[in-house]
Each structure stands twice: as structure tokens, then as C-alpha cells.
């Protein structure tokens, strides 16, 4: 084994939680190394973790390509414009997506160099007294590193289920579903969560017949009820077949396709598909991370236990991102990375988990922050609600994207905004204004007093804020 090397901070994992933590630590003057074991399809180390290599970025690249294609194919959207000879070359689309991924992962390598972060391609295992054994991804050689502080950011991996054993050819996870080299004629998806809906949208727009089987009766239970109902109707109108309350009992991978057996409302049903995607959630990546004698506290679900400073039960060993409880979102992990780096440097940084945005990048997009009406009712909080439909927005009409609405929830007592729910075009961008408003504990009246450019989609937020107090201009206000 190579001789021991010492660092102020070692980060394990270079996903959006880990690489951001490493850069911030280095910016704050700490000697920092980041160890990561990701090997891309060309057999090369690649930084960025799940998000850049097999998650946020490749999925959004395919969502954009498929949306563009679907828009071009729908001649009813822009009367007066007709196009002929539109062709789809999946190989080119995949190459382009891979290029975007490799440019971004290479960008992190460049940021590491510029900030002085030592990048190590290897499998890390935590040892006692803040030692880490790293096995090189290149030549299997082991080295012993020592750090004053360790940040674990090992992320998550897909959950597998006994009823649908994955072979990554016919029955696949989301990573393989992003790499199909031909468009499946019939695509089945288990799970109508974020991945199921985003992947389903991609392949449905490219021409697959997509059937999504969701075990729960309730569709998108984390979203606002009205938003979820609107989304379900819209996805079905687009052609996605979505069965809720559908529990997969057995699958048979017969080489040329997959037979899926499922129960729906007491009936045993069967579905025949060419490919099946299992998208039933992700679990934290902690297997083999630390031998039992190290004593790292990991809960039943595999999540690392942390305190309010994101420190584990072991002194100066922190954990961030998907590997700890909370929403499995890239921006949540990155915020935690910065917070831990600044905590180690003796600075204060408090994360406001209440205003983390959730976004689903379907058409229409869905985005929300803060609480839903259901949560407020359950907590017994009195609130006022203001909504504005995109059908009443001049910009949405000009864009021919009128599906959806903005809903703002504010306390009855002092008008503070407690939740904002958007379904519609560019909801992913519009939500940033709501997050900022909530960070500053703005009231609906504050948003209503803010001048918004015309004609923009953001005027829908302005009008919804006005509607909270019955003062919307471009819709008829509900009588109190």
C-alpha cells in the first residue's frame, strides 16, 4: 500500500453534492481531495456523479430533443407553418446528448484544476480515525489517505424489485433507458414518479407506445392535488397510458420482449412490452462504504444519520446529498455541500429545506416550493389561495402554451407566502422567483407590488399574488 497522504478535507463522491463541496472547501483555503469511482461507457473516469452522467443532464437533453421533435410534428400548434421531411435520427440525438454530458463532466475536471482540488479516480472505503483506503480505478492499487475532515457524498442507485429483475437489456433502469439505441415500439414503465414521467415523455414523443404502471392509487401525491389532476389529464391527452393502483406481481423476460403481470382493482392483467423500465425510486449508496467496526451510523433504509450540521455520529465526518434523508435532488445536495464546507471553515450557513424547489420536466412542466394546500389543512394553518390560469396570459397565448396555472398560498394572518405551485410552460424557470420570495419571507402583497415585464409568463405569478387578496386584474376574482 502507498504511503499515507494528508488533506484538510477529503470528499467521497463527485456528484453535485460532492464536487460542489470540494470546490467550496478549496475556495476557503483547505487542502482538498475528491475521490470518485464513476467510469463512463468509454471506460474513462467521469466526474459529476449520477446527475451529470446518468440523471439530470442526459434526461434533460433527451427531453429537449423529444419536445422539439413533438412540436415540429404537431402542425396544429402554429397554423400557417407547415414542414415536410422531418426525420428522426436517434443515433445522432444520442451522440449529441453524450457530447453535452462529456463537455460538462470535463468542465468539472477543469474547475477542480482551477481551484486546486486533487481529483482521485478510485473506490473509497472509510477506515477508523479518518483514514480512507482508495483502490485505484486504473490499476487496482491501494493507497491510504488521511483527512482532518471527510465529506461522504456517495449518492444513490436505483431500487430493484423482485417482480422485475433487471438485465439492462429488456428490463432496465433509468440509466439504460437514457441510452436506448432504438425506439421501443411498446415501452412499459413501473412507477409514475419523476423518472417514470420524464422517461415516459421522452420515448412517447419519439414514437413509443408508453404504459406506466403505478402502485399507488394517488397520482403524484407530493404535488398540489389540483396540479396533479391537471397533469394526469394532460399526460393522458398526449398519449401516455397511466394506470394507478397497478401492482406488478411478475414479469417474464422472454428474449424478444417482456410479459408484465399486474393487479388492478382486484383484476389480474397482463401487458406485453418490448422494453420495461423499472423506476420505483432510488436508495442511498452506502454498501461497502465502511466496515462495521468503523461505527458509522446508517439507518434501516441505508441513509447515513446526520445532525443539524450534517455531521455523522463520527466526529468531523459529514454526509450530504442523496446518501442522507431528504429529497433526492441535485440542488439540495449542492446546497448541503456548500453548507458543510462553510461549517468546516467556521462560517455559518443554514439551509432552508422548506423552500427547495421540486420540478418535473414534462410538458407541461410542474414546479413547486413550500407547502401544498393539503399540508396546510393538515397542519391547521389558515391560508388564502390565489390562482391564475395560463389561458389568461397574453404571452402563454402567443406561445400557444396555455395549459396550466400558478397557485400561491399565503397565511391568512400576515399574508406570508407558504407555497407556490406551477404547472405550465417554463414552470422550472418561473419557480425561482417564488423560491426567492419565500427566502425573503415575502408576502403575497410584496409579489403583487413587484412590477413584472409584459408580456411574460411571470405575469401569471404576479396575477396569482394579486388574486390571493382578490385584486387580480386579468381574471374575475373569486368573491370572499
Binding site residues, ligand FAD, CB under 6 A: 12-18, 35-38, 49-51, 55-56, 59, 123-124, 153-156, 174, 195, 285, 289, 321-323, 328-331, 333
280 binds, among ligand FAD, ligand NAD, none (CB under 5 to 8 A by kind): ligand NAD
For residues 76 and 428, give the distance between their C-alpha atoms in angstroms, rounded to a whole number.
Answer: 25
Residue 280 interacts with ligand NAD (CB under 6 A): yes or no: yes
Residue 173 interacts with ligand NAD (CB under 6 A): yes or no: no
- Please list the residues that pair with 119 across neighbouring strands: 34
- Please tell me what DSSP assigns to residue 357: -
Q: Using CB under 6 A, pick the residue from 196, 257, 284, 386 that binds ligand NAD.
A: 196
Residue 227 interacts with ligand NAD (CB under 6 A): yes or no: no
Kindly provide the b/e burial profile for residues 132-148, where b requires at least 16 CB atoms within 10 angstroms of the residue's own CB.
bbbbebeeeeebebebe
Residue 193 interacts with ligand NAD (CB under 6 A): yes or no: yes
Of residues 277 and 396, the one with the C-beta less far from ligand NAD: 277
Of residues 136-165, which lie at the interface with ligand NAD (CB under 6 A)? 161
Only one residue has cell 480515525, namely 129
Residue 298 interacts with ligand NAD (CB under 6 A): yes or no: no
252 part of the active site = no
279 binds, among ligand NAD, ligand FAD, none (CB under 5 to 8 A by kind): ligand NAD
Of residues 207 and 281, the one with the C-beta less far from ligand NAD: 281
Q: Using CB under 6 A, pick the residue from 216, 253, 349, 450 that binds ligand NAD.
A: 216
Only one residue has cell 423482485, namely 162
360 binds, among ligand FAD, ligand NAD, none (CB under 5 to 8 A by kind): ligand NAD
Of residues 335-364, which lie at the interface with ligand NAD (CB under 6 A)? 359-361
Residue 192 interacts with ligand NAD (CB under 6 A): yes or no: yes
Stretch that binds ligand NAD, among 35-43, 251-259, 273-281, 446-454 (CB under 6 A): 273-281
Q: Using CB under 6 A, pick the residue from 248, 406, 408, 438 that binds ligand NAD.
A: 248
For residues 209 and 186, give the distance between their C-alpha atoms in angstroms, rounded to a whole number.
Answer: 5
Picking from 282, 280, 281, 276, the residue whose alpha carbon sits closest to that of residue 211 is 276
Beta pairing class for 118-126 and 131-136: antiparallel
* 180, 210 Cβ separation under 8 angstroms: no
Q: Using CB under 6 A, pick the residue from 150, 195, 338, 438 that binds ligand NAD.
A: 195
Beta pairing class for 142-152 and 131-136: antiparallel
- Work out the burial of residue 333: count CB atoms within 10 Å of its CB; fewer than 13 is exposed, 13-18 middle, 19 or more buried: buried
Q: Using CB under 6 A, pick the residue from 35, 190, 258, 445 that binds ligand NAD.
A: 190
Out of 252, 254, 454, 462, the active site residue is 454
For residues 220 and 360, give the distance between their C-alpha atoms in angstroms, rounded to a whole number.
Answer: 10
Stretch that binds ligand NAD, among 9-17, 128-136, 210-218, 393-401 (CB under 6 A): 210-218
Picking from 230, 214, 201, the residue whose alpha carbon sits closest to that of residue 390 is 230
Of residues 310 and 468, the one with the C-beta less far from ligand FAD: 310
Alpha helices in 28-185 (DSSP H): 49-54, 56-73, 90-115, 174-177
Tell me the three cell numbers of residue 60.
434533460
Q: How far apart are the first and last CA of the chain?
A: 74
Strand order in the sheet with 383-389: 358-360, 365-370, 417-424, 405-411, 383-389
Tell me the three cell numbers of residue 306.
446526520
Residues that bind ligand NAD (CB under 6 A): 161, 190-196, 198, 213-216, 247-248, 279-282, 327-329, 359-361
Catalytic residue positions, numbered: 454
Amino acid at each position: 500500500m502507498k504511503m499515507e497522504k494528508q488533506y484538510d478535507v477529503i470528499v467521497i463522491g463527485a456528484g453535485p453534492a460532492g464536487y460542489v463541496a470540494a470546490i467550496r472547501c478549496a475556495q476557503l483555503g483547505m487542502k482538498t481531495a475528491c475521490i470518485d469511482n464513476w467510469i463512463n461507457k468509454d471506460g474513462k473516469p467521469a466526474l459529476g456523479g449520477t446527475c451529470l452522467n446518468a440523471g439530470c443532464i442526459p434526461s434533460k437533453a433527451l427531453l429537449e430533443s423529444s419536445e422539439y421533435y413533438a412540436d415540429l410534428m404537431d402542425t396544429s400548434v402554429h397554423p400557417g407553418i407547415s414542414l415536410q421531411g422531418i426525420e428522426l435520427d436517434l443515433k445522432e440525438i444520442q451522440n449529441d446528448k453524450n457530447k453535452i454530458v462529456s463537455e460538462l463532466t470535463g468542465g468539472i475536471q477543469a474547475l477542480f484544476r482551477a481551484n486546486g482540488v486533487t481529483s482521485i479516480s478510485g473506490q473509497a472505503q472509510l477506515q477508523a480515525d479518518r483514514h480512507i483506503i482508495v483502490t485505484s480505478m486504473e490499476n487496482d492499487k491501494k493507497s491510504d489517505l488521511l483527512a482532518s475532515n471527510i465529506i461522504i457524498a456517495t449518492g444513490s442507485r436505483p431500487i430493484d424489485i423482485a417482480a422485475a429483475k433487471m438485465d439492462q437489456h429488456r428490463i432496465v433502469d433509468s440509466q439504460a433507458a437514457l441510452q436506448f439505441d432504438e425506439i421501443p415500439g411498446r415501452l412499459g414503465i413501473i412507477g409514475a414518479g419523476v423518472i417514470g414521467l420524464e422517461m415516459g415523455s421522452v420515448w412517447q414523443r419519439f414514437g413509443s407506445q408508453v404504459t406506466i404502471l403505478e402502485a399507488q392509487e394517488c397520482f403524484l401525491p407530493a404535488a398540489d392535488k389540483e396540479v396533479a389532476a391537471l397533469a394526469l389529464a394532460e399526460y393522458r391527452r398526449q398519449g401516455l397510458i397511466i394506470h394507478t393502483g397497478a401492482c406488478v406481481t411478475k414479469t417474464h423476460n422472454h428474449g424478444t420482449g417482456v410479459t408484465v403481470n399486474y393487479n388492478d382493482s382486484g383484476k389480474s392483467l397482463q401487458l406485453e412490452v418490448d422494453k420495461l423500465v423499472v423506476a420505483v425510486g432510488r436508495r442511498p449508496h452506502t454498501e461497502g462504504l465502511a466496515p462495521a467496526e468503523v461505527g458509522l451510523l446508517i439507518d434501516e433504509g441505508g441513509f447515513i444519520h446526520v445532525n443539524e450540521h450534517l455531521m455523522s455520529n463520527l466526529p468531523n465526518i459529514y454526509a450530504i446529498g442523496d446518501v442522507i434523508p431528504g429529497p433526492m435532488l441535485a440542488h439540495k445536495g449542492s446546497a448541503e455541500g456548500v453548507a458543510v464546507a462553510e461549517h468546516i471553515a467556521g462560517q455559518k450557513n443554514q439551509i432552508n429545506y422548506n423552500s427547495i424547489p421540486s420540478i418535473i420536466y414534462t410538458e407541461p412542466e410542474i414546479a413547486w416550493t413550500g407547502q401544498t394546500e393539503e399540508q396546510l389543512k393538515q397542519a391547521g394553518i389558515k391560508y388564502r389561495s390565489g390562482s391564475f390560469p395560463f389561458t389568461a396570459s397574453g404571452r402563454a397565448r402567443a406561445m400557444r402554451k396555455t395549459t396550466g396555472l400558478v397557485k400561491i398560498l399565503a397565511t391568512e394572518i400576515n399574508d406570508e407566502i407558504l407555497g407556490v405551485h406551477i404547472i405550465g410552460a417554463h414552470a422550472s424557470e418561473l419557480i425561482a422567483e417564488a423560491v426567492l420570495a419565500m427566502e425573503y419571507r415575502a408576502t403575497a402583497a410584496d409579489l403583487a407590488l413587484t412590477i413584472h415585464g409584459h408580456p411574460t409568463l411571470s405575469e401569471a405569478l404576479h396575477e396569482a399574488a394579486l388574486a390571493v387578496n382578490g385584486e387580480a386584474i386579468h381574471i374575475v376574482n373569486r368573491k370572499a
